[in-house]
Structure 1
Amino acid sequence: LFTLLTFLLLFPIFMSCAKPAMSVPLSTDSRFFVDQHGHRVKLACVNWASHLETMVAEGLSKQPMDTISAKIASMGFNCVRFTYATFMLTNTTLGNLTVEQSFLNNNLNESLAGIKALNPSILHLPVIEVFKRVVASMGRHNVMVILDNHISKPGWCCSLTDGNGFFGDEFFDPDVWQEGLVRMATMFKGVPNVVGMSLRNEPRGDRQDVELWFKYFERAAEAVHKANPDVLILLSGLDYAIDLTFLRNRSLNLSFDRKLGFEFHRYGFTKQNDWKGSNPNQMCGQVVNELKNTSLFMLDKGYPLFVSEFGADLRGNNENDNRFLNCFLGVMAEYDMDFALWTLFGSYYLRQGNYGIDEVYAVLNWNWCGLRNATYSARYSSIQPRFQVPGLPEAYKHKIIYHPQTGLCVLRNSLSMDDPLVLGPCNESEAWSYNTQNILSLKESYMCLQAKALGEPARLGEVCKDPSSKWKMISDSKMHLWSEGRDGSSVCLDVDSSNTIVTNDCKCLADETDCDPASQWFKLVDRNKF
């Protein structure tokens, strides 16, 4: 449906939508993050790890630091969730290790040689100083930073037995944790591109306790805000950051406001979901309903919600992840979510005892030189721009017809009603309206979307009263647009191999598991800007 050549032609259009330069510091206005002037800032971030054994940002053996920062900005990301380990700040022996010492201690001679060649100026610096230099490098490229306390003891995260899961675990002393947070907040006070701090990644484990969560997160939030009043404070829920239900009827007791947001994570493997072995429509509907119950309700409570981790295997052959992503990108577009994609880094110095291993979820390839999968990168690019901008006139509101499988939207190929509709960049989409009679029409026009017959292109028409002009959202996924063709056939909106909008038999409406409805999944997304 979407070729590499198509992506290369459209990539500059996708990138033109991102606006990384912001008026900071940021604050909150109901569910949105806003700048100093009250204008919405959508966090379109990518994760960059610095929390593993070396405590050095991944990739500095592959590319110069500024090259990586420039690459982040060129891919349309306006911020980075930059991870770190508490002990880098609270254990002076660790924090004062030079890069060379840290890499030699971990037998990383090959990676050390790469750093000597590509980033020689950091070789004899303490790892904590290098952390600051990476943040400064991102600042030079107008990339904002969310400082993420990923773990206490440097290493891979996360498991139920790593001693880092919840307060009272072997490496998770709440006083030491708070000390590290305050030191980090103080270190970056007055650094304009550091716009937020995520206080802890993925609380989890047998010690999880709601009362302790409130006790220690309230205390730490106050301490961080006192040390650095400019930064946003982001809090994760329980059970690997998927459960915020305990906040449905209870709020934190804090002395400050307009700085608090919440975060959640989601992957194809979350809760051991079997996307491959389930009916895709049913599984998507189940997961969306679960998200509404466990996290999305926070938007209705008036808090920003930051999807600080989600992603998929970008090799493209993981059916579980592919099905998940087709569903979840629809959620991301529908709710216009702030996010941090997992992940940037194409390889690791050291992960779980393995040297130089590939990261198949990364947007960059193993040597950090190029995109791992251009088609997937185009899809992520489609959710980087803002769809919703608060404060604009009501007349600006309209719909776009978003196609998660490609990251494109339905648009006119020409002004002629005889020409078929096609998929194209969402920033070129016409404004659509969808009324209570289930009619999809071009806003402020007499033209509506119509189904002709099975296997034929859907087209615009001017007589919009017959059944072929009515489109219902059906199936558990609520992403099939169903209509009745003029020949009496029952059809769903679909996309053919040339990206033309057609109508075909509806897919996967029964209980079958060996079908793929992704080409027929569309989201009617609210937008109020052109």
Structure 2
Amino acid sequence: MGSSSSKVLTGLLCTPSVSCQVPAASAASSENWTFQPLPFSSSDRWIVDANGNNVPVVGINWPGAADTMLPEGLGYQSIANIAQKITDTGFNTVRLTFAIELVDDILDNGGDVALSTTLTNALGQTNGIAMLAKIINNNPQFNANTTRLQVFDAVAAGLATQDIYVHLDNHVSKAMWCCSLTDGNSWFGDTYFDTNKWVRGLSYMAAHGKANWQTFSSMGLRNELRPALTGAPNLQPYTWSTWKTYMTAAASAIYSANPDVLIYFSGLESDFNIEPAVGGSTLLDPGFSFDVASYEWAHKLVFEMHEYDEGISSSCPVYETILESFGADATTRTTGNRAPLVISEWGHDETDASDAWQSAYSECLAQFIVQRQLGWMVWVLAGSYYIRSGVQDSDETYGLLDHMWSEYRGVNSSAAIKQLVQQTYAAYGQ
């Protein structure tokens, strides 16, 4: 659809000359949703709370897996301010990402690393010291000796004060910007993807979260599994059988360490394809079979899918049919592994000038989410990063917040997100 045409975007009349504003009476806020008691479980196609009531997952990604191994944005804002902005937008969940390297340092390399050291390592001596001062100024509960995991603990505590659930996602093994086919983090046995340390790291964080994080609700096993082009000597075959071997082992380790959290299963092709896992078999790997009901953690499994704008189709019915063919039918199918589905990454340029907020992709995906009552977590909260792919203080146009994490990046774009929040809650009768 061209930029000159008007369209209804998730219930809002939007044109190039009319701002896509959320009416005051339906503005997103923490009043849209009442905290539901943990632990959560999966029941048929639903995520349910401790009382058996259906839970809408309405979330946003807060990255913490890059070079510093710290949740982003603390050089610009306090944890409290960021958590308040999350609540004000209407989200009830944060997908907080981490790197296995953080746990490896704790268990293998002499213990967790202090703020002063991790910032200097990532940003250099001068810039690291400057960033440390900014973080402490905004968050005076920290000092130079505060460790990385203590910062994660503080973020989890800040989110808990706003009744926001923590979904912990293992983004990478070696801390860096994700994702490419040559970064060494792609697939089981890749250059940095030591499967034993990965399982150990998930288990460690599951136990740590259980002991320390009040609103710890769920964990993601691995972000965007994909082919590896590194030629690593221990690289395992890129098959669904390999997927099953390692993903089920990791899920069992998490369940043993913390039987309360939901366990999110991602698929292949950067988590766009989960169909064989949902269906339980695939002709491409005749030896593969997957029966969720046979595992002790069956009542904790959630499928996750990532969906960015690949130009699939501007026709919403066609778009939805294609998504279903890749596993987005997880909640409606009558055979295989029917289970909850969360679109744990989706997003677009948040600047209003991009018009991405009113694209066919945005409209069709929002419509699909609401009609199917799916959970979702938009990418991304971050307006900027400490460092991304070697660039310090890197701007993020996909960020809901601006560079300094203080205001929304786009008026129309943020209004569209707020409207999707409203419609998701409404689909659950909230």
**TM-score per shorter chain, which class?**
0.7 to 0.9
Candidates 86, 90, 112, aligned match of 1:72: 86
- What is the CA-CA distance between 1:165 and the residue it aligns to? 0.7
Match in the other structure for 1:309: 345
The answer to whether the Cα contact below 8 Å between 1:336 and 1:383 also exists between their aligned partners in 2 is no
- What is the CA-CA distance between 1:330 and the residue it aligns to? 1.6
- What is the CA-CA distance between 1:7 and the residue it aligns to? 2.7
Quickly say closer, same or farther: Cα 1:251–1:383, change in 2 above 3 A: farther
Quickly say closer, same or farther: Cα 1:327–1:181, change in 2 above 3 A: same
Q: Deviations over 1:349-407 (max 9, x none)?
A: 1000101121111111111111111222222222324758xxxxxxxxxxxxxxxxxxx
Candidates 166, 172, 176, aligned match of 1:155: 176
Give the distance between the partners of 2:30 and 2:104, measured in 1 at CA: 42
The answer to whether the Cα contact below 8 Å between 1:88 and 1:94 also exists between their aligned partners in 2 is no
Counterpart amino acid of residue 296 in structure 1: A
- What is the CA-CA distance between 1:332 and the residue it aligns to? 1.5
Quickly say closer, same or farther: Cα 1:43–1:101, change in 2 above 3 A: same
Give the distance between the partners of 2:364 and 2:89, measured in 1 at CA: 23
- What is the CA-CA distance between 1:347 and the residue it aligns to? 0.6
The answer to whether the Cα contact below 8 Å between 1:65 and 1:119 also exists between their aligned partners in 2 is yes
Match in the other structure for 1:292: 324
SS in structure 2 opposite 1:91? helix
More helix by share: 2
- Where relative contact order (Cα < 8 A, 6+ residues apart) is larger, the structure is 2
Give the distance between the partners of 1:120 and 1:102, measured in 2 at CA: 18
Q: Deviations over 1:185-243 (max 9, x none)?
A: 11011433000000100110144211111111111111110110100000101010011
The answer to whether the Cα contact below 8 Å between 2:60 and 2:95 also exists between their aligned partners in 1 is yes
The answer to whether the Cα contact below 8 Å between 1:79 and 1:145 also exists between their aligned partners in 2 is yes
The answer to whether the Cα contact below 8 Å between 2:223 and 2:266 also exists between their aligned partners in 1 is yes
Give ranges in structure 1 of 5+ residues lacking alignment: 389-426, 428-526
Give the distance between the partners of 2:19 and 2:403, measured in 1 at CA: 22
The answer to whether the Cα contact below 8 Å between 1:87 and 1:94 also exists between their aligned partners in 2 is no
Candidates 132, 147, 156, aligned match of 1:126: 147
More strand by share: 1
Quickly say closer, same or farther: Cα 1:195–1:141, change in 2 above 3 A: same
Candidates 218, 225, 230, aligned match of 1:203: 225
Match in the other structure for 1:224: 254
Match in the other structure for 2:119: 103
1:27 paired to 2:49: no
Match in the other structure for 2:207: 186
TM-score by length of 2: 0.84
Show the 5 A alignment for 1:168-183: 168-183=189-204
Give the distance between the partners of 2:22 and 2:48, measured in 1 at CA: 32
The answer to whether the Cα contact below 8 Å between 1:185 and 1:228 also exists between their aligned partners in 2 is yes
Counterpart amino acid of residue 208 in structure 1: Y
Give the distance between the partners of 1:315 and 1:286, measured in 2 at CA: 27
Q: Deviations over 1:275-313 (max 9, x none)?
A: 7xxxx33xx444322211112221124300010000010
Show the 5 A alignment for 1:381-400: 381-385=418-422
- What is the CA-CA distance between 1:320 and the residue it aligns to? 6.7
Give the distance between the partners of 2:18 and 2:141, measured in 1 at CA: 37
Match in the other structure for 1:52: 66
Show the 5 A alignment for 1:91-490: 91-92=105-106, 93=109, 96-106=112-122, 107=124, 108-109=127-128, 110-123=130-143, 124-190=145-211, 191-206=213-228, 207-247=237-277, 248-249=279-280, 250-252=290-292, 253-268=294-309, 270=310, 273=311, 280-281=314-315, 284-301=316-333, 302-318=338-354, 322-385=359-422
SS in structure 2 opposite 1:384? helix
Give the distance between the partners of 1:167 and 1:29, measured in 2 at CA: 30
The number of residue pairs the alignment matches comes to 384
Quickly say closer, same or farther: Cα 1:20–1:100, change in 2 above 3 A: farther
Give the distance between the partners of 2:325 and 2:111, measured in 1 at CA: 41
Counterpart amino acid of residue 251 in structure 1: D
Give the distance between the partners of 1:362 and 1:237, measured in 2 at CA: 25
Greater shift after overlay, 239-248 or 121-130? 121-130
Give ranges in structure 2 of 5+ residues lacking alignment: 1-12, 229-236, 281-289
Quickly say closer, same or farther: Cα 1:4–1:132, change in 2 above 3 A: farther
Counterpart amino acid of residue 49 in structure 2: D
1:7 paired to 2:21: yes
Q: Deviations over 1:224-264 (max 9, x none)?
A: 10110100000101010011121213424412332111100
Quick check: which has more Rg, 1 or 2?
1
SS in structure 2 opposite 1:308? strand
Quickly say closer, same or farther: Cα 1:178–1:229, change in 2 above 3 A: same
TM-score by length of 1: 0.68
- What is the CA-CA distance between 1:345 and the residue it aligns to? 0.9
Quickly say closer, same or farther: Cα 1:15–1:220, change in 2 above 3 A: same
SS in structure 1 opposite 2:42? strand
The answer to whether the Cα contact below 8 Å between 2:185 and 2:193 also exists between their aligned partners in 1 is yes
Quickly say closer, same or farther: Cα 1:528–1:306, change in 2 above 3 A: closer
SS in structure 1 opposite 2:384? coil
Give the distance between the partners of 1:146 and 1:13, measured in 2 at CA: 25
